[in-house]
Structure 1
Amino acid sequence: MCFPNVGGGGLQSTPRSAWARPWLGRTSALQEAATSREGAAGPAGEGVQGSGRLRMEFFRRLWNYWNQIDGQVLLLLRPQNPRTQWQILSVFLLPKKVPLEVVMAKHPNSVYIETASECKLIKGESYTVDCLEGCKIQPQRAEFSLGCGPNYHPTFEIFLPYMLEEIYIMIRDQKDADVWMRRVVLTGETSHREQEPLSTE
């Protein structure tokens, strides 16, 4: 289709494509502007999400700070049983204020393994125990609660080979961060007082 073009040379036919070219150029400019706005909105949206994550992490740490308490890890070794070829180490996650004598009174047949027991625990947080020498650990995960008495059951049980001499124990929080690590010697009369904290390096 042609449109009249009035000029010095008289009437001339102008192709429709030429008539529409300015509008096509304007449409392209609008599309480019929209694309640039979308591209700009992408990083901005990511920035908003990033700041939201930072705020959530800040409040999580603040919550943990207010719910963090001075805790202790107590280790009680049950009597060895040659028939089963197992010895069981009971691991207690307790508030620091719980007296050792109270816990020992509930487990008179177990031997207390003295070690640097202090650590920081968070109420309601779940923890795991890792022991390379342990054949079995139960439960796999346990939640730390302030209501541990009056029976004071072990938080974890580690099944160890009979007559094992030393072990490495690590307690981790639900983010798999180490909160307590120790090397513990299990044999001999004085072994229950010989321990070394593991290096965090």
Structure 2
Amino acid sequence: MNTHQDEVFNYWDKNQLVRATAGDLVDLELPEATCQYLLEVGVAPFTTRLKQLLGFDFDHLRNNRLCTLPDHFPLGDKVPEEMRSWVLIGHCFEQLLCIEAGTGNIYLLDGTPASGFLKWFVNTSVSQLMFCITKSLDCFENARQSKKASNPVPQLKASLSDIDPDAFANQVHWWPTILNEIASGQM
């Protein structure tokens, strides 16, 4: 199981985490580790702070509406072949938050099947995503409560890149981009 499960449970109220049911996962081609994490640990509940700061809303999981991309779009047959088994779990700043079925990688998708999709790599797994979200919120809350004025982003980048190096392997991936926007005051 996830090595960061205890830290996630220490930050979030374990009973408030949103978990999948076995029925939610039927017919979805997700890696076993992804399914196990969604069943046993889950993802963050909706909070205004999470939505405002990082943009995440696991609304499809929360509302028992996990589905593949073709099931989500009226023109599902136009979804590119390599994305047909991707699973929609929510949104982030109006972009689709998806799990790539074969690998468990997390991506944001912007666009539609008709116009094409812009893919944005986020994390290597749902467990890494949850731990990065948890560490980020904790870091920003501690910085807000601190009496010293400091920018927590450089330290947070270093911490998160240790957690999921692939998420920081390219500066145009989601985490480096969003943290740079937060540090520059664009968010």
- TM-score, normalised by the number of residues in structure 2: 0.23
Per residue, is there more helix in 1 or in 2?
2
The structure number with the bigger radius of gyration is 1
Relative to its length, the structure with more strand (as a share) is: 1
